[in-house]
Structure 1
Amino acid sequence: MIVNASRSRARLSIDLPFQQGTLMHHLSRRSFLNASAATAATGLTLLSSSTAKAAPGDRVNLCVVGVRGRGMGLARNFAGLSQAQITHICDVNEARFEPAIKAISEIQGTAPQPVQDLRRVLELPSVDAIVVATPDHWHALATIWGCQAGKHVYVEKPISNNVFEGWQMVQAARTYDRAVQVGTQSRSVPHYREAIEYIRSGKLGRVHAAKAWNSQLRRRVPAVPDSPVPTGLDWNIWQGPAPERSFNENVYTYGWRWLWDYGTGDMGNDGVHDLDIARWGLGVDFPEAVQCTADKLQFTGDIQQTPDTQYVTFTFPANRILLYEQRLWSPYTQEGFENGVAFYGNAGYMLIGRRGWKVVERGNNVVVDRQVPFSDIPHLENFLDAVRTGAELNCEIEEGYRSTLLAHLGNLSYRVDRPLEFDAASQTFVDDAEARSLLKRRGRKEFVIPETV
């Protein structure tokens, strides 16, 4: 069991009107108990906030939530770390249990217990933290529930399906004083950190602009008819906060990522990594304006709603510009990187990706050109250190919110088909009711994102 070190941080002093004029209330830890009765009266069920304690040297007991694809990758990596023990796995599909248990057991030497409903996991005092690797539409609710239950959270990007959900995740981390790390792993990778320090040193001069790109070849998602729910799959839980619909194999297995009810397109999926690095290097928080030119140029005649091609321009205060490029039909890399970022200063420019970085100065003189390995492990270790000792997180939820917000804003500009002006003080759009209406959604049944966390 784990000591829960205090992790108080400066609270954002922003009230969010969103689409219904509702202000977000910032509950302090001290005022939480006094507010609990009123909160319960609104219909929100608060899970137990009791947390176990033990020496900082003990291992962190984890439950990995979602054990397909990315979830299994995280499970294998966490299982291999001496600071962690995967005691439980959670997935709505019971067919995923056996292969996940086998893989984890072979690495850590003990078998995790399988649970189908996340709410049952959150009732267990032995679980210190959850690792959320579900489809995107579940990231926010799982994180909020986890914080309410006293668990620390490692959540994959994008942090949320929409802006309101992401904001509520930040508030949950603050209210319940939990460590919430976002899975933008590059924040912990040594060469990225070295490159950001290079920018901060002023060696590129004044950095006016950055470009982030996502250039790769994605597979299409053809339409298939709805079908009966497979045995062992809890389709109601899988849908969670999304609108209710019949089971569809291609929506469940892969297509959800390209449908607005569940995913955020590849700008929110892979693009958030690059947007995060670009924003980090520029030293900016919230844009003043966003303009997206996008379309489906290659993936026509399928179920995909999100664009395969996007060019998004973000304008920040102090004359900073960020350009995002996306092409999902490219069987080649750009500037040597499938996903990368370029920083443009008046004394030189930098290219950086997962396998290295390069700096070119005046007269096209290459002064840095390094190829390096990439690993998720430092980011996972950083999260475990934060849980065990109170160490600072390298991508705390508020940072993840700001970077995911860029993807949401770019997508919303595409969906309403016009440039948008963004007001950082209220976290909403200026004079655009239609765009504001897309900042949040109603939720469904017991899977509603709470107005007050």
Structure 2
Amino acid sequence: MTRRNSIPRRSFLKQSATAAGALFGAPLLLKAQTLGNAQKAAANSRMGIGFIGTGLIAKGHLKSFAGMRDLQAVAVCDVRDWKMQEAQDILAAKGATSVTRTPAYEEVLQNPDVDLVCIATPDHWHAAIAIAAMKAGKDVYVEKPMTLTIEEGKAVVAAEQKYGRILQVGSQQRSSAHFRIAANLVRNGFIGEVKEVYCKIGNFPPALENEPVIPVPEGFDYDRWLGPTPFYDYTEHRAKGQYSGGWRCYWDYGNRKFGDWGAHHFDIVQWALGRDDTGPVEFIPKGYEGTESHHYRYADGITVWRDKEAGQEHMIRFIGTEGEVHVSRGKLDTIPVDLKRHRFTGDEIQVYESKNHRQNFIDSIKSREPTICPASVGHRTGTICQLGGIAERLVRPLKWDPAAQQIIGDAEAASMQDRPRRAGYELPTV
């Protein structure tokens, strides 16, 4: 089996910054223009960060990014006034007391003190804001899944390449030691030839029907929250931020569980199989001709199953001809059991190592080297989620050409690679 050396992780700039910090006994804070950003330095030679979308997952970003010595919180943006206030309170507790607020993300991107943005809106807003941010010269941390549709994903990749920006998708499992070790074990062939992978994704309840229409809460720009999606009268559940449901139950704003846990676990499958620049070729939905579990296949026959095994203990189970790797957040098991204690050597494959997903983003801004999950990677994983959603909605298999990035032989399905957008909310041109 062919082996290759580990991926280089440091650039000259990063090494120099570390060495200089050690020499003078303090961290070196690089000015924004040194990092290739818009011809100016952030206040106090720190990079200015703007937070766009300040709901559930954003609270962790607010606390973590605001606690980094290299960053200074500059702005918060949300279509709900009370969410912006909560965000300002979190940042104030971290010492950031001069943070501006606005419901318009465009104002954040126009702010010359903002060097990078953290996008934590619902999925249907990710692509437009990420593209606009990169056009404005900002680096981008965007929550997973990176986009709502396949065509949006292509556009974000094109923007990352055209504008030379750094982008990190919030697929933070790649920055976990357990998932990294699992990927290394699979990549190096320690469980033989991989035949199947089981992923535990779970289910959302159906979107609520006939929910009572109620007045839009004061301080909530609901029309802007809907953005490019079809207009519906306001109901509480539709726009609710909730990990167990809310807007995540509606196809208009996400890809249900495919775009939820699928975006995490299918990403690790891609990584472990070495498929970050390609994808599966066939998607078969649950219910088609009696199929009990949704699954997809790669060209070499490897099959990835969704929720196939009732009571599956681990989030992901890699099944090979000579063993298995089982991995979850905070836990790794193998067959044979001693395999998980393998010590990797320099001549074995070792995937990109990141120990902190947000810090990896900041380090990449400084070095101008790719993050552990750049747009190209986020797009390929997102594509799997989106194709799974299309197959589920049509209740029929899909053939996919990962090189052409096109659904084959099904015009209706191919039309669903993108979605119509409401007037006034067009996707920014790249």
Q: TM-score, normalised by structure 2?
A: 0.82
Query: Which residue in the other structure is 2:326 paired with?
Result: 351
- Helix, strand or coil: the match of 1:384? helix
Residues 352, 234 of structure 1: CA spacing in aligned structure 2 closer, same or farther, 3 A cutoff?
Answer: same
Which of 103, 126, 138 in structure 2 is aligned with 1:116? 103
CA displacement at 1:195 relative to structure 2: 2.4
SS of the counterpart of 1:249?
coil
Aligned mates of 1:72, 1:326 — CA distance in 2: 34
- The answer to whether the 8 A contact 1:90-1:118 is kept is yes
> How far apart are the structure 2 equivalents of 1:80 and 1:222?
42
Residue equivalent to 1:166: 153
C-alpha spacing 1:52/1:218, structure 2 compared with 1 (3 Å)? farther
Work out the number of aligned pairs and report it: 380
What SS does the corresponding residue of 2:85 show, helix, strand or coil?
helix
The offset of 1:312, in angstroms, is 2.2
Aligned to 2:136: 149
CA contact (8 A) 1:282 1:320 kept: no
Question: Are 2:83 and 1:96 equivalent residues in the alignment?
Answer: yes
Give how far 1:235 is off. 1.8
- Pair 1:82–1:334, CA change in 2 (3 A): farther
Distance 1:77 1:222, change over 3 A: farther
Structure-2 residue corresponding to 1:322: 304
Which residue identity lines up with residue 256 of structure 2 in the other structure? Answer: G
After the TM superposition, which residues 386-405 of structure 1 pair with which residues of structure 2 at under 5 Å, given as runs? Answer: 386-405=364-383
| Structure 1 residue runs without a partner (length 5+) | 7-49, 296-308, 371-375
CA shift in 2, pair 1:367/1:83, >3 Å: same
2:279 pairs with 254, 274, 286, which one?
286
Which amino acid is the alignment partner of residue 276 of structure 1?
D
Give the TM-score of the pair, scaled to structure 1.
0.78
Contact 2:198 2:308 in 1 (8 A): no
Query: How do 1:378-393 and structure 2 match up within 5 A?
Result: 378-393=356-371
Q: Structure 1 residue 366: deviation in Å?
A: 4.9
Contact 2:123-2:147 at 8 Å conserved across structures? yes
Specify the alignment match of 2:193 in structure 1. Answer: 206
Q: Could you tell me how far 1:54 is from its partner in structure 2?
A: 4.2
Structure 2 match to 1:43: none
* Amino acid in structure 2 at the alignment position of 1:146: A
Q: Are residues 293 and 219 of structure 1, via their aligned partners in 2, closer, same or farther at CA, if it must alter by over 3 Å?
A: closer
Q: Tell me the distance in 1 between the aligned counterparts of 2:292 and 2:380.
A: 20
Query: Secondary structure of 1:61's partner?
Result: strand
1:433 and 2:377 are equivalent in the alignment: no
Greater strand proportion: 1
Write the mapping of 1:47-446 to structure 2, written as runs, cut at 5 A. 51-54=38-41, 58-215=45-202, 223-254=210-241, 255-284=246-275, 285-293=278-286, 311-325=293-307, 334-335=312-313, 337=314, 340-361=315-336, 365-368=337-340, 378-446=356-424
- What amino acid sits opposite 2:304 in the alignment? L
Hey, what's the Cα distance between the residues in 2 that align with 1:225 and 1:310?
35
Match in the other structure for 2:32: 2
What does residue 8 of structure 2 align with?
none
The residue that corresponds to 1:302 in the other structure is none
Q: Distance in 2 between matches of 1:61 and 1:442?
A: 34
Structure 1 residue 97: Cα displacement: 2.1
CA contact (8 A) 1:60 1:388 kept: no
Answer yes or no: is the 8 Å Cα contact 2:207–2:250 preserved in 1: no
Return the letter of the residue paired with 1:358: D
CA gap 1:248/1:4 in 2 versus in 1, 3 angstroms: farther
The structural deviation recorded for 1:349 is 0.4
Q: Distance in 1 between matches of 2:362 and 2:184?
A: 24
Shift of residue 200, structure 1, vs aligned partner: 2.3
* CA 1:108–1:218: 2 relative to 1, 3 Å: farther
Identity %: 31
User: Following the alignment from structure 2 to structure 1, what is the Cα–Cα distance between the partners of residues 78 and 273?
Assistant: 38
- Mapped to 2, the partners of 1:153 and 1:109 lie a distance apart of 21
**CA deviation string 1:340-384 (max 9, x = no partner):** 1111121210000111111112xxx554379xxxxx980000001
Whole-Å separation in 2 of the counterparts to 1:265 and 1:219: 10
Give SS of 1:342's match. Answer: strand
2:204·2:257 contact (CA, 8 Å) conserved in 1? no
- How far 1:280 sits from its partner (Å)? 1.0
Kindly provide the amino acid, as one letter, of the partner of residue 321 in structure 1.
Answer: T
| Structure-1 separation of matches of 2:118 and 2:76 | 9
Q: Any idea what SS the aligned residue of 2:58 has?
A: helix
1:105 alignment partner AA: A
Is the 1:359–1:369 Cα contact (8 Å) retained in structure 2?
Answer: no
* Matched residue SS, 1:96: helix
Is residue 91–residue 116 contact of structure 1 (8 Å, CA) maintained in 2? yes
User: 1:218 Cα deviation (Å)?
Assistant: 6.8
8 Å contact kept, 1:173–1:180 = yes
- Where does the alignment leave 5 or more consecutive residues of structure 2 unmatched? 1-30, 343-353
**Contact kept? 2:124, 2:229, Cα under 8 Å:** yes
How far did 1:64 drift?
0.9
Equivalent pair of 2:173/2:264 in contact (CA under 8 Å) = yes
- 1:292 partner amino acid: P
Q: Please report the RMSD computed on the Cα atoms of aligned residues, expressed in angstroms.
A: 2.7
Indicate conservation of the 8 Å contact 1:211/1:278, yes or no.
no
Structure 1's 326 and 112: CA in aligned 2 closer, same or farther, altered over 3 A? farther
Letter in 1 for 2:340: V
